[in-house]
Amino acid sequence: RVVPSDSYQGDALADVISSAGYTNTAILSMTNAYGAGVGDAFAAAFNAKDGHQVCTRVAYDDAALTSAVVGDAIAAVGAGDADGNACDSVLLASYSPDGAQMVGGLRLAGSMIPAFGPDGMAGSAVLDAFGSDTILSNGIVATKPGGTGVSTGDFPERCLANADCASGIFTSELYDAIMMIGAAAMMDDGSDMGTHVPMVGAGDGYAGAAGTHVFSSNGDVSGEVYNYNVCTFNHVPTYGDYFNCDRQWTVANGLEDAAFAGTTVKIGFMGDITSPAIADLWASFAVSYSIAETLANHIAYNQGVQFEFIPADSACGDASIVAASAQALVSAGVWGVVGAACSGASTAANAVFKEAGIPMISYASTAAVLSDDASHPLFWRVVSSDIEQSAALADAVDANGDGANLAILLAQDVYTAGIASGFRAALEAKGHTICTEVSYDRNAITSTTYSDLVNAVQTNSCGAVAVFAYNADGAGILEEMSTQGFTGQVYGSDGIASVTVADSMGADKTPLNGVIATNPGAPSWVVGPDANPVQAVFPALWGQYAYADVCNLDIRGGDNGGPDGISDYTLVAVLEQAGVTCPAENVTTGASVAKGQFAESAFDASVIMALSAFAFLAGQGTITSAQAIQSTGQGFNGASGTMSFMANGDVAGTGYCIGTFTVDTAGAVSYDCSKAWVDGVISDEPADSA
């Protein structure tokens, strides 16, 4: 045989499962020679590891498999070990038809313990056994033969070019076995094959498609020099199923990452990591691009492409930080950049990237000025222009009877100044006169800034206020209003339409209570087109991936970007990239990251950028990066909705949430979309929408 004994595969599987952190593995094994042999080999290797044991073992006849047999096996796994401890994983020493039934039984019973398998459960052809329920294969890890070294000849390439061949296992080994028999048959016109076959694999061995095969006296090949591919089934919702072999196991080196010989595409991701404006949203943004990066890499691995997302701080428009971060991404060789978040950061970054020919797709920059593609070339966004948001907020103010005596407080940023200007024009078009308007530099906040702003409102006896700000400055204004006893209605745009505003407040969150703010995207209760498949599955994807080590450390929020005495919620990985080590006592391992404002849009922009880069590479010089993005963004099904890029890189709006903040007696803050604005019409949430 040109494959080694399964005693080696048992060792490989033991290392694979142990390295994943599992120590109490159940075995479901067929009673035939293959299933029993793999099961025995794994059990011996696994039990030999310190602190590891086979949880339970169930043997079954695959030729007489019934639902009752499957049910009994699943029940045995569910019962745990002899001491009552739960099995933490399962090894399927099986072929794909029965293995698929066992996995299906586990999931039907509510067990989500990870599943592993030998080569009988390897190869994309295994997916056929799952029928239409290929999602059940997601996460299964299987070993499969990888040969003994450098392949000879072009058979592997020819096999990959054939869908049937590429979906199987042992294809190179089968090819070599046939060729070796053929070589032996050419000796003495095919006589005495028992002598000549061993001769083909004698000495230095036979150099074949699966490597070099040297026969031992018993007809085996040595597993000492054999490589096992370690592969994972990855189900990517709405895209398909992928079987990726990105690790390998050998006797000499154990389990290790496989060398990737393809093309790695670098993509920048710009967001506010350090400023007090919206840095509280960074952890959520980072999860969004991480999900996109993971799924894109599943899709592209077997096509020889991988993506590396590089985070960069845009500090919500701080000119020096944006310029430095943008130039660093240019130097890193990024193909494209997702971001920035704040509109001022996007305009500043575009000034750098357009000169380098690097495209951008923003997930949160809504300023109307960015619609000018002559001034901002190579810029796209998956959120609509603030032209409509200005109108939506003006309509909400007017409908509530607050337009006749309303003040405007705005930060001097591209985003806030732009949307305030549009809002003012929309309100004046309704016949209203602004009570007073005061602007401020949020990067130069002093001890009197907030009191001066609110004093202007009080002095002019304004009955309501529209605040165009970001988290930290918005929180400061709201707290000062409360301090001065202002009781009028407060409005805001999406710059403060997130519960993270409360993170910039002190212990008292009540200044947020009753604030009305608009947010891009119609609420889910609005009757419209059916949710596209990505919208339907994104919440589940978030629940699957939104776990990360976080650091609760005061690193930002104060003057000049320094500490402000309030603990910040930051990803440990991001701090490490910035050269900051989080003290162990401040680390929460595997924390659940809440889905924040613009999380869906950040995911969409990241996916479009990755798929566009893939299309650009596939075009082999026949299309530009701009053409790739424009094409990818047509009829794109995203987590934030279905969208199509216009000629200037904009997308059409789907409406706006008109949400209200509520602070309960325990201080918990919620933002609820009780009203919606779609095409100029405000509607109330139906009582039965929940």
Could you tell me the maximum CA-CA distance found in the chain, to the nearest angstrom?
Answer: 110
Please report, for residues 58, 75, 212, 237, 266, the alpha-carbon distance to residue 85 in angstroms, rounded to integers and kept in the order given. 17, 14, 45, 34, 45
Q: What is the mean pLDDT of each run of 10 residues along the chain (690 residues)?
A: 93 98 98 98 98 98 96 98 98 98 96 97 94 95 88 92 89 95 95 95 94 93 90 95 96 95 97 88 93 97 96 91 97 98 97 98 97 98 96 98 98 96 98 98 92 98 98 96 98 96 93 98 82 88 87 61 57 72 85 91 98 97 98 96 96 94 96 96 87
pLDDT value, residue 572: 79
Q: How many CB atoms lie within 10 A of CB 503?
A: 21
pLDDT value, residue 556: 56
What single-letter DSSP state applies at residue 215? B
pLDDT value, residue 568: 60
Question: What are residue 567's phi and psi, to 5 degrees?
Answer: -65, 135
Global pTM?
Answer: 0.86
User: Among 598, 465, 417, which residue's Cα sits nearest to residue 520?
Assistant: 598
CA 25 to CA 324: how far, in whole Å? 50
CA 254 to CA 104: how far, in whole Å? 31
CA 550 to CA 569: how far, in whole Å? 7
Residues 236-247 as b or e (16 or more Cβ within 10 Å = b): beebebbbbbbb
CA 523 to CA 363: how far, in whole Å? 18
CA 638 to CA 533: how far, in whole Å? 8
Structural domains present in the chain = 1-147+228-250 (3.40.50.2300), 150-225 (no CATH), 263-383+529-651 (3.40.50.2300), 386-520+655-684 (3.40.50.2300)
Residue 526, SS3 per DSSP: coil
